[in-house]
């Protein structure tokens, strides 16, 4: 029997930090090392891998697959200039399916694991939506990209926190007493910045056996970190801050996968719509990405699944939506970080400003989308 592919999801808390650039070039690098690779665009908000590879318009891809009952994911695989590398693009239809159902998600995940490849790179959308989180946790080989600036780091932290919470909540959902504990913590929101170790202690008081399971889940969740667009060596410290916060609050051990500088050639490759891997394979940044590919190939083999997809449940989504919407809760968390000298007050003020701005932008976006849905519905009912 052939081995299942190793899935490498690439995520970030904040947008525009370089996930797509890294996914595309990492896929080329793995292919160059002789591995069979499929790169998949799973950015439901802004699929653009096809653009970076020179396509004028998006060929049918994941969106079409999700909307068609009888198609297989493998039907959407396209060749690239490298015989080892194939892609499955996102497409225009994907934008309309921000709310894929659990059935669709399971169908997609099951078919992912049946694709004919050794490595599958998933370019995810930014932020902590459930789909992003679920794909982020699909594999122990996930990558978290951040820029060396405070907003990006703290958004990355929020993504880790939400992911870990969802992982535990979903996997332990058959234990009502433990679930109530999670619900209470979520509802408390801004009142306290929790540490996962405290929650684990409480779980141990409730049931030592569940505690063993929960601790194992936390131990297995260790995404790899990439700091991108650094301008000076000391930017590496921002990654360190994230690692420290994640360890002390979330008990997540994150390994550094790499550190990439801001590189004009990379930017040019985006404008030229040719990946740096093809445009200039000797480029320093690309060579650093090749090093990351080596690390991935040589990583020890971990279990395939973190999140048991049979456990998906929407009830959590509601609670989490409330909690992530709660700006106050985030701010309180960050204030606690100030107490530990991980963030200074000016950084904190800029974070709050940015979060508020992003919140307003998101609300506007939702309003615009809602209006469009209403217009579509009207148009359809008139037909
Ligand atoms: N190391 C780098 N040096 C210079 N520019 C970079 C680097 N990495 C990414 N960029 C630039 O940053 C911009 C955003 O990159 P990219 O689209 O990969 O981010 P993203 O995280 O996928 O964004 P989104 O969240 O919108 O999907 C692009 O214009 C790209 O050219
Ligand atoms: Mg992107």
Q: What is the pLDDT of residues 208-248, one digit of tens each?
A: 999 999 998 898 888 999 999 998 888 888 888 888 888 88
**Can you tell me the distance from the alpha carbon of 281 to that of 208, in angstroms, rounded to the nearest whole number?**
53
**Can you tell me the distance from the alpha carbon of 130 to that of 307, in angstroms, rounded to the nearest whole number?**
12
Is the per-residue pLDDT at 353 higher than 70?
no
- Domain-embedded: residue 359: no
The stretch 38-45 carries a mean pLDDT of: 91
Which domain, by its residues, includes 272? 6-318
- Domain-embedded: residue 297: yes
Is the per-residue pLDDT at 35 higher than 90?
yes
pLDDT (tens digit per residue) in 137-191: 988 889 999 999 888 998 898 889 888 888 888 888 888 888 888 777 766 554 4
- Domain-embedded: residue 120: yes
Residue 122 sits in a domain of what CATH number?
A: 3.40.50.300
Dihedrals φ, ψ of 216, to 5°? -65, -40
- Domain-embedded: residue 157: yes
pLDDT in the model for residue 319:
35
**Can you tell me the distance from the alpha carbon of 308 to that of 246, in angstroms, rounded to the nearest whole number?**
23
Nearest 10 degrees: Cα torsion 176, 180, 181, 184:
170
Split into its structural domains, the chain has a count of: 1
pLDDT in the model for residue 382:
76
**Can you tell me the distance from the alpha carbon of 15 to that of 17, in angstroms, rounded to the nearest whole number?**
6
- Domain-embedded: residue 110: yes
- Domain-embedded: residue 229: yes
pLDDT in the model for residue 191:
41
Determine whether the shortest distance from the Cβ of 18 to ligand 1 is under 6 A: yes
- Domain-embedded: residue 379: no
Determine whether the shortest distance from the Cβ of 175 to ligand 1 is under 6 A: no
**Can you tell me the distance from the alpha carbon of 35 to that of 29, in angstroms, rounded to the nearest whole number?**
9
- Domain-embedded: residue 326: no
Burial of 324 (0-12, 13-18, 19+ CB in 10 A): buried
pLDDT in the model for residue 312:
45
pLDDT (tens digit per residue) in 8-19: 999 999 899 999
Lowest mean pLDDT among 46-50, 76-80, 108-112, 142-146: 46-50
**Can you tell me the distance from the alpha carbon of 49 to that of 275, in angstroms, rounded to the nearest whole number?**
10
pLDDT in the model for residue 96:
62
Helix (H) / strand (E) element for 271: namely helix 264-272
Determine whether the shortest distance from the Cβ of 20 to ligand 1 is under 6 A: yes
Ligand positioned closest to the Cα atom of 48: 2
Using alpha carbons only, give the angle 312, 223, 362 rounded to the nearest 5 degrees: 65
State how far the alpha carbon of 141 is from the alpha carbons of 4, 33, 110, 176, 302, in Å: 14, 18, 17, 30, 8
pLDDT in the model for residue 341:
55
**What is the 8-class DSSP label of residue 282?**
T
Q: How confident is the model at residue 48 (pLDDT cuts 50, 70, 90)?
A: confident
| Residue percentage of the chain with pLDDT more than 70 | 78
Ligand positioned closest to the Cα atom of 21: 1
């Amino acid at each position: 029997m052939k081995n299942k592919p190793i899935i490498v999801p690439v995520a970030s808390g904040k947008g525009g930090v370089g996930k797509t650039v890294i996914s595309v070039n990492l896929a080329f690098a793995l292919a160059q090392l002789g591995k069979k690779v499929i790169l998949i665009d799973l950015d439901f908000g802004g699929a653009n891998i096809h653009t970076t590879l020179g396509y004028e318009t998006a060929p049918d891809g994941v969106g079409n697959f999700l909307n068609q009952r009888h198609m297989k994911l493998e039907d959407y695989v396209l060749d690239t200039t490298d015989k080892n590398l194939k892609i499955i693009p996102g497409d225009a239809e994907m934008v309309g399916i921000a709310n894929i159902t659990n059935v669709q998600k399971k169908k997609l995940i099951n078919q992912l694991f049946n694709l004919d490849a050794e490595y599958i790179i998933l370019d995810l959308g930014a932020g902590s939506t459930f789909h992003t989180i679920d794909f982020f946790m699909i594999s122990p080989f996930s990558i978290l990209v951040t820029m060396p600036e405070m907003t990006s780091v703290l958004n990355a932290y929020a993504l880790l926190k939400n992911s870990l919470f969802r992982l535990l909540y979903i996997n332990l959902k058959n234990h009502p007493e433990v679930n109530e504990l999670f619900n209470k913590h979520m509802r408390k929101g801004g009142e306290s910045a929790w540490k996962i170790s405290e929650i684990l202690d409480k779980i141990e008081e409730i049931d030592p056996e569940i505690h063993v399971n929960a601790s194992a889940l936390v131990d297995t969740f260790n995404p790899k970190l990439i700091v991108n667009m650094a301008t000076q060596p000391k930017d590496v410290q921002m990654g360190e801050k994230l690692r420290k916060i994640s360890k002390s609050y979330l008990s997540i051990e994150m390994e550094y996968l790499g550190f990439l500088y801001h590189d004009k050639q990379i930017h040019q490759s985006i404008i030229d719509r040719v990946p740096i891997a093809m445009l200039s394979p000797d480029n320093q940044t690309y060579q650093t990405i090749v090093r990351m590919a080596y690390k991935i190939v040589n990583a020890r083999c971990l279990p395939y699944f973190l999140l048991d997809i049979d456990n998906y449940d929407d009830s959590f989504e509601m609670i989490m939506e409330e909690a992530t919407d709660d700006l106050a809760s985030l701010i309180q968390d960050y204030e606690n970080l100030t107490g530990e000298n991980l963030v200074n007050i000016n950084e904190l003020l800029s974070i709050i400003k940015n979060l508020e701005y992003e919140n307003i932008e998101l609300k506007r976006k939702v309003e615009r989308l809602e209006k469009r849905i209403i217009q579509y519905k009207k148009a359809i009912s008139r037909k």
